[in-house]
Amino acid sequence: MQNNEEQKDDLSFDNRIPLADLQKAVKDIKQELAKVIIGQENFIELLIVSLLVDGHVLIEGVPGVAKTITAKLFAKTLKTDFNRIQFTPDLMPSDILGTSVFNAKTSDFEFKKGPIFSNIVLIDEINRAPAKTQAAMFETMEEKQVTMDGTTYKLEAPFMVLATQNPIEQEGTYALPEAQLDRFLFKIKVSYPATEEEILILKTHHNRKGSLPQTLVNDVLSPKQLQVFKEQIHEIIVEEKIFKYIAEVVSKTRNHPHLYLGGSPRASLAILNSAKAFAAINGRDFVTPEDVKKAMVPVLNHRVILTPEREMEGMTTENVVKMIMESVEIPR
């Protein structure tokens, strides 16, 4: 055992990329959130990975499981701007992007930026807005820019959308189009806490004595540091067998009998980038199959569509993704 531990230590010193600062930043973010958020370790880790690879996150869960507060406090750990937009059925694209307003002094129209012009944008109940408003998000999420009246306005880096939706209540909601779902790096499903965690939630709330959660969390990561970490992740080593493994799994989603729609090449790239980030936050400068497996379900579960027969049987996309993962040989 001792020899194995020594070997692990040696490996960490042999890294080509200095990942100690990145690991410390990740640890600091987790510690700040742990002051308020109990459990949800996987949720928080996926948020951090998405931030490191310029991804957006769709968060799904029933009301009251800390989706919104976790997203808000996560944004608070970053030294960046934050905006929250509540999506409603009467929301128009201009309410998000901004609009041209006539300036009487200059006798000209000037563009008033909307709430999307921020670094971390929390969209509450994204499936409440109609298709026209959903379509307004396509360009901002993919190109990180807004085009209005023939002029393009770049969004300031970092730019990340955290969107929540309730999977239970369907009245007054609109299903997100597949093209928009594909622009989310992860879909994170937030479940109820375990009994022990719920007891700890009650105790933590009691001990706060009415103080607001936002006042307990400090910012620990600047945009400049974040950019350095992103560049380090680009340098993570990926072997040929890892490329093949990712391609085989995604390819199998496209001709699987249980699936009507499979993953796109964008899904393959999302798995690759996420796996590199998982490797980095674990202090490795190379990707392992385990890093890839961690990324598979959150990347693919919203990109693949079940056949109507399997959906009626109660099967889920996660079941099928895991089935496919088990059918593909893990590279060693």
Q: Looking at the chain, how many residues does it have?
A: 332
pLDDT at residue 5 is higher than 80: no
Pair of tokens at residue 321: 């993704």
What is the mean pLDDT of the segment spanning 264-278? 96
Look up the pTM and report it.
0.89
Place of tokens 């959906």: 311
Judging by DSSP bridges, how do beta strands 57-60 and 120-124 pair with one another? unpaired
pLDDT at residue 10 is higher than 60: no
Specify the pLDDT at position 12: 44
CA dihedral (30, 35, 39, 43) positive or negative? negative
Do the domains 236-332 and 38-210 match in fold? no
| Rg over CA atoms, the chain | 21
Specify the pLDDT at position 18: 87
- For 144-195, how does the pLDDT look when each residue is reduced to its tens digit (9 = 90+)? 999 888 889 999 989 999 999 887 766 667 878 888 889 999 999 988 888 9
- Which of 211-215, 231-235, 254-258 has the lowest average pLDDT? 211-215
- HEC string for 274-301: HHHHHHHHCCCCECCHHHHHHHHHHHHC
Residue 11 binned pLDDT confidence (cut-offs 50, 70, 90): very low
pLDDT at residue 64 is higher than 90: no
From CA 296, how far away is CA 277, in angstroms rounded? Answer: 13
- Which of 65-69, 85-89, 296-300 has the lowest average pLDDT? 65-69
From CA 45, how far away is CA 221, in angstroms rounded? Answer: 15
The share of the chain scoring above pLDDT 70, in percent, equals: 94
pLDDT at residue 245 is higher than 90: yes
The share of the chain scoring above pLDDT 90, in percent, equals: 59
Specify the pLDDT at position 178: 84
Pair of tokens at residue 122: 């929390």
Superfamily of segment(s) 236-332 = Magnesium chelatase subunit I, C-Terminal domain (1.10.8.80)
If we measure between CA atoms, which residue out of 227, 251, 218 comes closest to residue 327?
251
Place of tokens 């089935």: 323
Specify the pLDDT at position 255: 92
- For 103-144, how does the pLDDT look when each residue is reduced to its tens digit (9 = 90+)? 777 778 888 999 999 999 999 999 888 888 888 888 899 999
Query: Can you name the CATH fold of 38-210?
Result: Rossmann fold (3.40.50)
- For 297-327, how does the pLDDT look when each residue is reduced to its tens digit (9 = 90+)? 999 999 999 999 998 998 999 999 999 999 9
pLDDT at residue 4 is higher than 70: no
pLDDT at residue 39 is higher than 90: no
Specify the pLDDT at position 248: 96
Specify the pLDDT at position 2: 45
Q: Give the domain ranges of the chain.
A: 38-210, 236-332
CB 41 within 8 A of CB 197: no
Pair of tokens at residue 141: 């999420």
